[in-house]
Amino acid sequence: MPVLSTPDYCPPLLFRGSNFATLYPSLFRTTPNHSVPARERIETPDGDYLDIDRHSNGTLRSKRLAIISHGLEGNARKKYTLGMANMALSLGFDAVCWDQRGAGKKPNRKLRSYHSGETTDLHTVITHCLKSGYAEVALIGFSMGGNQILKYLGEDPKRVPQQVKTAVTFSVPCDLSATERVIALPSRHIYFQYFMKGLREKVRSKAEIFPGKVNASDLKKVRNLRDFDDMFTAPNNGFRDADDYYTKSSSLQFLPRIAIPTLLIQAQNDPFLAAECFPITEAQDNQNMYLEMPKYGGHVGFHLPGRENIYWSEKRAAQFLKTSLC
C-alpha cells in the first residue's frame, strides 16, 4: 500500500513545536468525560493478573469492541486512552482499556513485567474479551502499546483471532534501539527522567518481592534507558541483554506479515522517533499497512482546539475504523 498523503492536520502555532505538542496533553488536557468503567481482573496462564476497564456504549451490548493499549509508564485511565475510548463509544463500539502487567497501582505477582515486545498478555486480553461474543475487534495502541500491537499482528498472523479485523497505532518506536539513541540525547533528558520516575518505583517494589533477583541499588548506575533495559528489563523478561531485547521486540521486522488493515501514524516532529521508525518501504510493500505522517503532532500529542476536548488522533482513528469496518 503506498504511503498515504500527508494529512492536513495543522494545529495552532504553539502546538507545532514537538516538545509542547508532546507535553501539553499530559500536563494540561482536561480528562475526557467518561462514565465509571467496570473494572475486571483477568488471571494470566502463568499465574499473574491483568486489570481491564470495560466501557459500555450505553445500549445493548455491541458486537464491536475496541481494545486500547497504553504506552510506557501509562495505564488504562490516562487521558489519551480515555479519549480514544470515548471515540470508540461514539461509533457504537464497546471499549476495553487495560493495565499492562505491573502498570497498575500494585506490583504484579511475577518477576516479569510489561515491555515493548510483550504480546502474550495482549493475546490474553483479546481472547478473554471474545468470550463476551464480539464479532469485530479493533486494536488501538499508543507508543509502546502500538509496538506491541504491530508485533502481535505480524509475528504469528495465524494466532490472531479472526474477529480482530483492524488496528490503529500512533507514535510507535518501531526500531527500539534507534529510539533509545534519540531519547538518550541531552535535549530529550526531560523524557528520560519522566519515564525513570515510575520505573525506579517499580524496580524498588520488585526488589522487595524478589530479593536476590532484583537489586535496586543498581539503579544508581542507570544513565539512560539502555542501561535500565540492560540491568532490569532484559534479565527479568528472558532476554540476554538490551540489544537482544531491542532486536527481538522491535515491530519493524514484523510489518511485512501484517494481514489486516492497519494504520500507523507517525508525526514528522515526534521527539522520540528516529528515521528508522518511519517504515516507508514496509508500507509500500504490504497492501494492509497504511503509513501516515502528519507534519505535526509530537509524541502522542495531536491536540485540536475547541471545547469538545477531542483530539485529532481520535478523529483520525474514527475515520479509519469507519473505512476498514464498512
Q: What is the pLDDT of residues 69-103, one digit of tens each?
A: 999 999 999 999 999 999 999 999 999 999 999 99
Mean pLDDT, the chain, whole residue set: 96
Choice among 32-36, 170-174, 248-252, 274-278 with the minimum mean pLDDT: 32-36
Classify residue 125: in a domain, yes or no: yes
* Number of domains composing the chain: 2
Classify residue 265: in a domain, yes or no: yes
Rounded Cα gap, residues 38 and 131, in angstroms: 16
Positive or negative, the CA dihedral 109, 111, 117, 120 is: negative
Domain boundary among 249, 264, 286: 249
Domain extent at residue 274: 13-175+254-324
Both 198 and 283 in a single domain? no
Cell of 2: 503506498
Classify residue 183: in a domain, yes or no: no
Both 95 and 196 in a single domain? no
Classify residue 181: in a domain, yes or no: no
Say which CATH number the domain at 112 has.
3.40.50.1820
Q: 119-152: per-residue pLDDT in tens?
A: 999 999 999 999 999 999 999 999 999 999 999 9
Rounded Cα gap, residues 69 and 55, in angstroms: 14
Classify residue 231: in a domain, yes or no: yes
What pLDDT, on the 0 to 100 scale, is given for residue 57?
A: 83
Classify residue 6: in a domain, yes or no: no
Both 90 and 195 in a single domain? no
* Pair 310, 304: CB distance under 8 Å: yes
Cell of 313: 488522533
Using CB atoms within 10 A of its CB, is residue 274 exposed (0-12), middle (13-18) or buried (19+)? middle
Per-residue CA distances from 201 to 103, 153, 226, 228 (Å)? 11, 32, 18, 13
Cell of 280: 516507508
Please check the confidence at residue 326 and state whether its pLDDT lies above 80: no
Both 316 and 244 in a single domain? no
Both 193 and 164 in a single domain? no
Nearest CA to 104 out of 61, 74, 69, 140 is that of: 74
Both 159 and 67 in a single domain? yes
* Pair 70, 76: CB distance under 8 Å: yes
Both 56 and 202 in a single domain? no
* Pair 24, 15: CB distance under 8 Å: yes
Both 115 and 93 in a single domain? yes
Classify residue 180: in a domain, yes or no: no
pTM of the model: 0.97
What pLDDT, on the 0 to 100 scale, is given for residue 62?
A: 79
What pLDDT, on the 0 to 100 scale, is given for residue 60?
A: 63
Percent of the chain with pLDDT over 90: 94
Domain boundary among 204, 224, 249: 249
Classify residue 167: in a domain, yes or no: yes
Both 23 and 86 in a single domain? yes
Q: 258-307: per-residue pLDDT in tens?
A: 999 999 999 999 999 999 999 999 999 999 999 999 999 999 999 999 99
Both 271 and 194 in a single domain? no
Both 163 and 311 in a single domain? yes
What pLDDT, on the 0 to 100 scale, is given for residue 59?
A: 67
Both 140 and 54 in a single domain? yes
What pLDDT, on the 0 to 100 scale, is given for residue 61?
A: 72
Per residue, the 3-state secondary structure of 250-264, as one string, reads CHHHHHHHCCCCEEE
